[in-house]
Amino acid sequence: MGILSGTDLTAQEPMEGKQSSKFAQQLAQTQKDFEKILASELSVPLPKDMAGGFSHEQHKRNWIYLQTGANLYTLTGEAKYANFVKNLLFAYTDLYPGLGLHPSRKSYAPGKLFWQCLNDANWLLFASEAYGNIRASLSMQEQEQIEQKLIKPMADFLSIENPRFFSRIHNHSTWACAAVGMAGLAMDDSSLVSKALYGLKHTQSFEGQEDNDGGLVKTRKEEGFLAQLDFAFSPDGFFSEGPYYHRYAIYPYLIFAKELNRKKPELQILAYRDSILKRAIFSLLNQTDANGLVFPINDAQKGMSWNSRGMIAAVNIGYAYMGKSPVLLEIASKQDKVMLTEAGRIIAKDLQKSNGKRQLRPSISFRDGWDGSKGGLTILRAASTPDQELCMVLKYSSHGGGHGHFDRLSYSLYDEQGEVFQDYGAARWVNIDQKGGGRYLPENKSFSKHTIAHNTVIVNRTSQNNGKIGKAEDVAPYVYHARENKEDYDLVSVVDSLSYKGVKLHRTVIMLKDPVFPKPLLVDLFRGSSGAKADWELPFWYMGQMIKCSPPLHQEDKLQALGKSYGYQHIWLEAMSNVSVANNHFSWMANKRIYTMYSWNPEGDKWFMGRLGANDSNFNLRRDPVLIQSKEDKKEVLFINCIEAHGSYDYASEIPASPYGMIEGIEKNYDSKKYLCITIMHKSGRSWRIIQANENPSEEQNHKLEIDSRTYTWKGPYHIITKSKNANKDE
């Protein structure tokens, strides 16, 4: 991998030739917008409010003004911008030295400007970057005032005075290290840079303490920015907390790394740990849907996208300094903005030459855990045409710290328009003061984190690991088999024996690619076994409105919540069905696309139609629907489901295309401890027989099995036999 060394534009260097259109337009617009800021009075209020409140939002606005002003100075050389940045920093030198801790005291690590150190670290990172960009324009006296009254004390406050905040392996500490490091680079203070890179070497222990999200404040002996690079990511660049926090954390990683690359090239930071930052960028960008929305895994507010600051930085800096990937260029063409820096200028220039060809993203798996040993995440993707995509995201990673959900073996499903089966994400309205001050709402714990909020099996109506983080952090499922980017089918199969005591869960998801399907057929086999009889439920949080459910539904006159705890207390039982035949289906329309799920059900199965909203008089939860498949009082269970993306609807012509699915039925042909065999029949006469060796994942193992007086022999854990219409022999 070729890492280019990056140099930043400075006011002294002239702009290179003709500016790129996107960059130039944005620069011109920013200059125009910034005139209003230049003309208005500075506002540096006494810290008082929580997120969403005035003082909080004003200090946030100020860090943007600092960054923008300094960038405009770098790009234009006009003194008015440098003066503005200087004056704003001066205003803070009046305020900061007299500040005690923020009055709210609601954080495990209270800040001074903000209620939590995290926001103070955000502020310091931007302010230091801005200060570094204008420093050369200041007198020595001015420099000293800003450095000694503001930057240095703030860097000390966020590091040596707050080790519990600074020394974790956690996004909070990434911001802290990067902010302190940027402060050090801006001031040429090598002691601060060293603290940022290598940590405080303190000896305090925070064992057993929790942060505000329920995450543990434990530290390990390694600390500092390099330790973050070593331990916050898996070898594949996967970030345990999930892509929503990944896009938040990536920004300080990249800003500090880019500056280190420029000022301390001998560190070779971009190549560090087999180019872990480049891996982190690609891992993050892979965890988005066709429209750039971040998969809302763990605590995540939906709507976050590659238009966020962190992901624009990831694309711009990744492109400019880590090999000019056409995938990044294509994403840049869809992003609203470029950075107003050298990296932004570089990618914007290449955008003008790009052919705009769509870069199809392949199926891909990421290991989790710093050493790759803690499960992971698999994305199966298939696109028949650039605007026809199916994407399945199976999660089997480690818990994800305080932001983790009890969601192992759950998957979400996407098409080119968005969610088909959703992950609920977090119960939080970020920065909306009216909703609990913009923080996590009580329903995040009472619903969103629970297993029932995810598309995976719940045993006995309790969450995985009883909803306890400590226990969940220590264990992770393992991959039974994976097969990616093949012509006939992609597959991921995962086993979890640790989330429920005495229970083994084994889920296999197959993306069956066949010319009869416009998009692949998703086959979902979920086996469960338990030493004792148990109740098993598998929810599907489908998006959109039900069209047809083949088993007849019954609705009561009065709605009740499904249960009393583990998230069930928030779900109304809207309707139910005692499933009486083996083959059943459920069709729904999601955003103009028509889907059918086909199920094979043994006698006694029940289907529940649930609706969110019980025990929620504040309307904190969305009123989303769920189909729950239930099997009661069983030691061994098998959920067989196929999801066909077959139809679409045009509202202007009012014409549906393929409103009916084409699956004729599903047969269960064989089901033992060792083997499972099912057959899926297509209305055209075509069929697919799928055989799974349940207990031996070896790819070298030969198998032999007789089913319906026919003998099958094959090698490896899976065997799929396609049979054509009227054909006596298999394909």
Closest by CA position to 389, among listed 412, 415, 364: 415
- Give the binding range for a second copy (CB under 8 A) out of 30-38, 271-279, 487-495, 654-662: 654-662
Three-state SS at 534: strand
> Considering the complex, what minimum distance in angstroms separates the CB of residue 188 from a second copy?
32
C-alpha 392/C-alpha 396 separation (Å) is 13
C-alpha 662/C-alpha 646 separation (Å) is 8
Query: Pairing mode, if any, of strands 458-459 and 702-707?
Result: unpaired
C-alpha 164/C-alpha 158 separation (Å) is 10
- Give the binding range for a second copy (CB under 8 A) out of 490-498, 597-605, 644-652, 691-699: 644-652
C-alpha 721/C-alpha 318 separation (Å) is 43
- Give the binding range for a second copy (CB under 8 A) out of 112-120, 262-270, 607-615, 706-714: 607-615
Q: Is 557 in the site for a second copy (CB under 8 A)?
A: yes
Output the CA angle 563-395-270, nearest 5 degrees: 140
| Contact call for residues 311 and 332 (beta carbons, < 8 A) | no
Question: Which residue is catalytic, options 59, 102, 403, 405?
Answer: 403
Angle between helices 342-353 and 21-39 (to 10 degrees): 140
- Give the binding range for a second copy (CB under 8 A) out of 197-205, 262-270, 490-498, 542-550: 542-550
Chain position carrying tokens 């005690």: 100
Closest by CA position to 351, among listed 339, 360, 363: 339
Three-state SS at 641: strand
> Which positions from 110 to 129 touch a second copy by CB under 8 A, shown as an x/- string?
--------------------
Contact residue for a second copy among 572, 670, 675, 718 (CB under 8 A): 572
| Contact call for residues 474 and 495 (beta carbons, < 8 A) | no
- The residues in 425-454 that bind a second copy, with binding defined as CB under 8 A, are 429-435
> Which positions from 13 to 52 touch a second copy by CB under 8 A, shown as an x/- string?
---------------------------------------x
> Which positions from 657 to 686 touch a second copy by CB under 8 A, shown as an x/- string?
--xx--------------------------
> Considering the complex, what minimum distance in angstroms separates the CB of residue 558 from a second copy?
4
The alpha-carbon radius of gyration of the chain (Å, integer) is: 28
| Contact call for residues 136 and 187 (beta carbons, < 8 A) | no
- Give the binding range for a second copy (CB under 8 A) out of 29-37, 398-406, 484-492, 621-629: 621-629
SS3 annotation, 338-373: CCCCHHHHHHHHHHHHCCCCCCCCCCEEEECCCCCC
Query: CB atoms < 10 A from the CB of 429, how many?
Result: 18
Q: Is 587 in the site for a second copy (CB under 8 A)?
A: yes
Q: Which is nearer to a second copy, 66 or 678 (CB)?
A: 66
Tokens describing residue 72: 């405009």
Q: Which is nearer to a second copy, 348 or 609 (CB)?
A: 609
Q: Is 649 in the site for a second copy (CB under 8 A)?
A: yes
Q: Is 197 in the site for a second copy (CB under 8 A)?
A: no
- The residues in 292-351 that bind a second copy, with binding defined as CB under 8 A, are 301-305, 307-309, 336
245 flagged as catalytic: yes
Closest by CA position to 115, among listed 125, 124, 96, 102: 102
Strand-pairing partners, residue 679, are: 667, 689
Q: Is 546 in the site for a second copy (CB under 8 A)?
A: yes
Q: Which is nearer to a second copy, 554 or 674 (CB)?
A: 554
> Considering the complex, what minimum distance in angstroms separates the CB of residue 685 from a second copy?
18
Q: Is 651 in the site for a second copy (CB under 8 A)?
A: yes
Question: Which residue is catalytic, options 81, 245, 396, 670?
Answer: 245
Contact residue for a second copy among 80, 201, 501, 623 (CB under 8 A): 623
56 flagged as catalytic: no
Number of chain residues interacting with a second copy (CB under 8 A): 56
Closest by CA position to 64, among listed 50, 43, 78: 43
Q: Footprint of a second copy on this chain (CB under 8 A)?
A: 52, 60, 301-305, 307-309, 336, 429-435, 545-549, 553-555, 557-561, 572, 574-575, 587, 609, 611, 613-619, 622-623, 625, 649, 651-656, 659-660
Q: Which residues are catalytic?
A: 245, 403
